[in-house]
Amino acid sequence: MTHSNINKVNVNLYEGIFTENAPLGQKSWFKCGGTADLLFAPDDIDDLAVFLKEYPPEEPLLVLGGMANCIIRDGGIRGCVITLGKPFAEIEVQGTRIMAGAGALNGSVAAAAVKAGIGGLEFLSGIPGTVGGALRMNAGAYGTEIKDILIAAMVLGRNGSFASLDLDDMGFRYRYCGAPKEITFVGAIFEGKAEETSVVRARLKEIKSTRQSTQPISEKTGGSTFANPSAAELEAIGLPEGTRAWQMVEKVGGRDLQIGGARMSDKHLNFMINTGDAIAADLENLGDELIKRVHDQFGLYLHWEIRRIGEA
């Protein structure tokens, strides 16, 4: 398939919607970047399973969620991108468990948990994007990660086959998932604990208030730019355990650093913002410059938490 040649896909096999040259960059949280050759929004899990089975295995294929923690590079994305929309956003409560589609917003899952008097999932309200993306990176906030609440993840293989992965199958580490890259997450089962609704709601309200006061959520931004350094990395360079990525950014002059239309937020130095006219390259160059400065000054590599996708 070359540059969205939709004729290579038998669209009559599917109920979902195909879009050529889809402006993904403008739909991302950063509101900049290129297009996808072909975008497919499946109608349901069966529609997606057929597509995965029929789509040529040698062709590029990528699944994207809410695009909250990614930069779509200016050259765009070759092949086909799958987006899981409303048909994959259902949320169901059973006791202290929540079944959520991969397209469900993390914040919506948190809200459903609060309404049902289920504690332990409030942290999801502090994670932008969808369940699928949170699974793929073991997303976390305020001291809790996906691995702490996950019972099972439902997936489709590259051949369209269905499987359920338990916690051990996911190979979770800090901001990392070891599940095969070729699988597509379609849902998850999370478990919390029964609590008074008022207590859970109060914690959710506190998280939302903290996020609003400390993060540039009204700007064109994404999630955290860099993962926090590990204790071992910090020990190796003589910095205190618990030193955060934003502190490293500040140590190397990141507070006033701007490249093109991209700069680090004054509100939180681990968040990049598009000041209005940034291209994707500005954002990536800004991050790379900070990585270089931290390494040159401290011998520590900051690791991107934001995914950079597509061609420059």
What is the reported pLDDT for 65?
Answer: 87
From the list 122, 145, 284, 305, the catalytic residue is 305
Q: Please identify, in words, the CATH class of the domain defined by 88-212.
A: alpha beta
Average pLDDT over residues 194-212: 93
From the list 136, 224, 263, 293, the catalytic residue is 224
CA distance linking residue 312 with residue 1, whole number of Å: 20
pTM over 0.85: yes
CA distance linking residue 139 with residue 192, whole number of Å: 16
* 28: pLDDT strictly greater than 70: yes
| C-alpha distances in Å from residue 294, one per residue of 151, 157, 208, 252, 254 | 38, 39, 31, 6, 10
* 306: pLDDT strictly greater than 90: yes
Residue 175 is among the residues annotated as catalytic for this protein: yes
In the predicted model, what is the mean pLDDT of the chain?
94
Domain range annotation of the chain? 6-83, 88-212, 216-309
CA distance linking residue 22 with residue 302, whole number of Å: 32
Given pLDDT bands bounded at 50, 70 and 90, which one contains residue 253?
Answer: very high
- Rg of the chain over all Cα atoms, to the nearest angstrom: 20
C-alpha triplet 148, 130, 250: angle, nearest 5°: 75
Average pLDDT over residues 6-18: 82
From the list 158, 175, 211, 308, the catalytic residue is 175
Average pLDDT over residues 303-307: 95
What is the reported pLDDT for 3?
Answer: 53
Over residues 162-185, the pLDDT tens digits come to 999 999 999 999 999 999 999 999
Over residues 50-65, the pLDDT tens digits come to 999 999 988 999 999 8
Average pLDDT over residues 220-247: 94
Domain 6-83 carries which CATH code? 3.30.43.10
Q: Which fold has domain 216-309?
A: 3.90.78
Residue 230 is among the residues annotated as catalytic for this protein: no
